[in-house]
Structure 1
Amino acid sequence: MKIIRVFAIAALVLGFSQDVFAKKIQVVTTLTDYAAVAKVIGGDKVTVNAISEGDQDAHFVRPKPSYAVWVNKADLFVTTGLDLEMWAPAVLDKAANPKVLEGQVGYVAAATGVNMLEIPAVKDRGQGGVHIYGNPHIGTGPLNMKVVARNIATGLSKVDPANEAFYTANAKAFNDELDRKMFGPELIPLLGSDTLTRLAESGNLVSFLSSKTYKGKPMVELLGGWMKQAMPLRGRKIVTYHKNWVYFSKTFGVEVVGEVEPKPGIPPSPKHVEDLITLMKEQKIPVIMAANYFDENKVKHVAAAVDAKAVIVPMHVAGEPGVDDYFALVDLWINRLLEGLGL
């Protein structure tokens, strides 16, 4: 009987140990973009839930009790860390999970280290939905997602240090693939990822490559990926609904001349719409680009008044069928804008 009891206890201990070792890291993200990256980096070691839907405006998420339940059980919470998800602190408060509060080991601010654009000189929220830390729509700049990937890998490594090498390797693989998608395969071994990234973020990549030669040919001929595909967009003027495309426009050289919203988060007045239509007619603007969570009728109304095209796109991963990862999202943005411009 003693032998049987010993075996039974041993089996229980072994089973408990296996459960402990098999337990996955619970990750909750505010956005589907961060969830998609976390799944790539975490692989089979994580379970990931995103609070905001892919076709939802992340500014205006109404917290549900289920979100607090997710965060209560989370080992890692990933948010932009700016003033995009103003509802996130309420979710954290209700979750009562001290491990994932800001400043704690389980909290990741995805935007840490991103070169922010549109940082206001005067931090006054009275001017509409002004973002006092800069434009928080960092996901529209593909190179920003390399920073996000590193931040998520660091967060996972802190809460699960035994698998740090795994997370670091997966983040590097993601960023290497993003580089290939961004620049194509030929320039990376010649100039390196850091140089290409720095030039692209400054808006000087194309001019730099055009001024240099390699084996008797302009280096710009070696440019591939999204940067090459988007070359016809450079210098093109468009209107957007909201100020959420600044990183995209700087990266790919698109000029945004106005927004349907008079100020961020402020609905357009008839006078503003009239002025915008006049501007679009004067400058012959052929496209209004808008995220698919905005009022499509408003976008199409303005577009129809100037015989322009309404380019409606998802803002985030899973924002429409088939957009299953971040690479597919950027593919869609570029393809749909090229189509809208007739290029």
Structure 2
Amino acid sequence: MVKGLLLVNLGTPDTFATSDVRAYLNEFLSDPNVIKMPKWLWQPILHRFILPTRSWHSAALYERIWDRGESPLRKYTRLQAEQVQAQLPDWIVKYAMTYRMPRVIDELHALKAAGADKIVVLPLFPQYSATTTKTIEEQVAASGVEAQVIKNFYAHPKYLDLLAKNIAARWQTKQYDKLLLSYHGLPTSYIRQGDPYLEQVNATTTGIMSRMPDLNADNTMQVFQSKFGPMPWLKPYLKATLAQLPMHNERRVLVALPAFVADCIETLEEIQVENHDEFLAMGGELFDVVQPFNDSLAFTDLLVTLARDTLN
């Protein structure tokens, strides 16, 4: 028996050229799991208003973070796959993106062609949401390749232990007023329709705080970032929270990102540039960020454990 593992993250433009960014955004924002509006209504809005403005703006941001010919998200997902392969020499390990290259269907067929007959697909999203993992499940089904999909790992002790260890290493170095656990946001209507994301986010926060006795409701907040469009999203919003903290004389913050396992445009631009600058402009004094796992070998160990446990 030959085992195969496919790591999958969200996606990234092929280059930071505006045309490539537009192609990526078009694919991402055309996913009905991401934007739950009738196609006849949403597609004209997307092509007439969203893509013409967002593509060139996002292209400029991608250019600032591009790293030796690839985006940070592709770089770290590739490194994660390479490191897992080194620890699982008897497996065939590949990586893919939900949107753009390398594609999930192509990489599943490549695993099968290479001889893998037991395949695990591991979406790199600790918390399940229809806006992320469901699309991967649909792509796996469409490929015709038999594979087991790991739906989430938010409750895995190794994941929570590693999060708490990384946060504690930063929290204990300085006198912070507030720890912000920032998760990617989601429209509240999706939660009402049954998406389990918020429940799993809440459990993640509880798991972190239970491992760090010095955290409490006074010094720690769960917040949500990356709001898109006019609809209500999960609250409290990170941006609004950062604006309010200095008014309460809470000027030194540490931001952790439990839902992100690799640096991407949201962590590098939205958090470390946009939110950082706005917080300092509002009277903040210190804005530090706990980096995602990226190419951490401890995170590699977690991925290896998840893959092995799935087939055992």
TM range (shorter): 0.3 to 0.5
Q: TM-score, normalised by structure 2?
A: 0.43
Q: TM-score, normalised by structure 1?
A: 0.40
Q: Which of 1 and 2 has higher RCO (CA within 8 Å, sep 6+)?
A: 2
